[in-house]
Amino acid sequence: MVSINSGPGVWLEIEREAATLRPPGFTPDLVPWGAGPDFHKFWIPEKMTPLAGSRVYGDLGEEQKLRYNQCCALETIEKLIWIESYGITPTLVSLLTGDLPTPALRELVQSVLIDELNHTAAEWRLLRLAREDLYRKNKLFFFRPPPSVVRLATRVSRMPRLLSGWVFFYGSLEERLPSLCRESGNGVDPLFATVFALHTADEARHKRINALIAKWLVEPQGKLAGWINGRVMNRLSKAYRDTGWGGDGPILQLIEDFPELAQHKTQLIEETLRGRAGKEIPATTAGQLPELPSAEASALSAAPDGAIPGPTEKISRVGT
């Protein structure tokens, strides 16, 4: 058992939680895959797509709306895969390579890792069933975050104890799931709705485990470590949520499928960026860690980025 600065109350709480938290539940076998999704239905709640509600969306034909919705659903699943494969999974693996304060906490972290691998496996299967032509090679098609996001996520996954704000950041990215799940009751394809629902069922448990990890790693951090943690995590959060990138994949695909829309490309992309800002960026500030006021920060300037390793090699993708 490693020595820790947190009081013994935290570890008693972890033991208690470990006894009550149910074991991992969502495996791809629980999904009734059948012949795949229904191409005549929306695959994601209509109002949760960036364009929905805009004038340009109202001008689209029914077939065009359907195709746009399905591309947005594929992009949403890809985002979940990215968050899990590039963010959560390597971070947890890295965390598990070192000592953990109690066997109970190790067990809990391992159980989240198993859940996330199962989510990712189910998501790849769903993508391939939906569009075998796009996903035969297990490569993301729509979601391509910029190098700054990949670099920062890689950095965090290499130093999950110092850069422990990931427990808030990744938790907040999966926060969209409950509303996806709730809204999917309104006519969304049952296969997509089931995958969203099973995934959501695991998240309440993950949230509680993240809170325990935060008590272990975030709360006892000293000033300097807290500042580095806050600075890197806030940069990652800002880079990821920057609405200047992403969201254009479904539009480009829509134009490829319906070339007559090419003349509206600029307007479609502008409305997408506006819609993303309003719908995809959580209203909560979850993921934001406090940074030191600038006077204190400059007093610590000997440390800043120099304390953090430079860009590292790419994380390998997890797929099935």
Residue whose CB is less far from Fe ion, 119 or 176: 119
Q: Which of 65, 206, 231, 276 binds Fe ion (CB under 5 A)?
A: 206
In whole angstroms, the minimum distance from the beta carbon of 72 to Fe ion comes to 19
123 vs 81: CA distance, rounded Å:
7
Give the nearest residue (CB) to Fe ion: 119
Residue whose CB is less far from Fe ion, 116 or 189: 116
Q: Which stretch binds Fe ion (CB under 5 A): 33-41, 43-51, 154-162, 166-174?
A: 166-174
In whole angstroms, the minimum distance from the beta carbon of 307 to Fe ion comes to 29
Residue among 156, 304, 176, 174 nearest 217 (CA): 156
Number of residues located near Fe ion, criterion CB under 5 A: 4
Q: Is 119 in the site for Fe ion (CB under 5 A)?
A: yes
Q: Which stretch binds Fe ion (CB under 5 A): 68-76, 126-134, 135-143, 171-179?
A: 171-179
Q: Which stretch binds Fe ion (CB under 5 A): 94-102, 151-159, 169-177, 246-254?
A: 169-177
Residue among 81, 111, 85 nearest 96 (CA): 111
C-alpha 202 chain-centroid distance: 14
Question: Read out DSSP for 174-232?
Answer: GGGHHHHHHHTTTTB-HHHHHHHHHHHHHHHHHHHHHHHHHHHHTTT--HHHHHHHHHH
Strand, helix or coil for residue 312: coil
Q: Which stretch binds Fe ion (CB under 5 A): 203-211, 228-236, 273-281, 304-312?
A: 203-211
**Beta pairing partners, 188:** 42
**135: CB partners within 8 A, 6+ apart:** 124, 127, 128, 141
Binding site for Fe ion (CB under 5 A): 116, 119, 174, 206
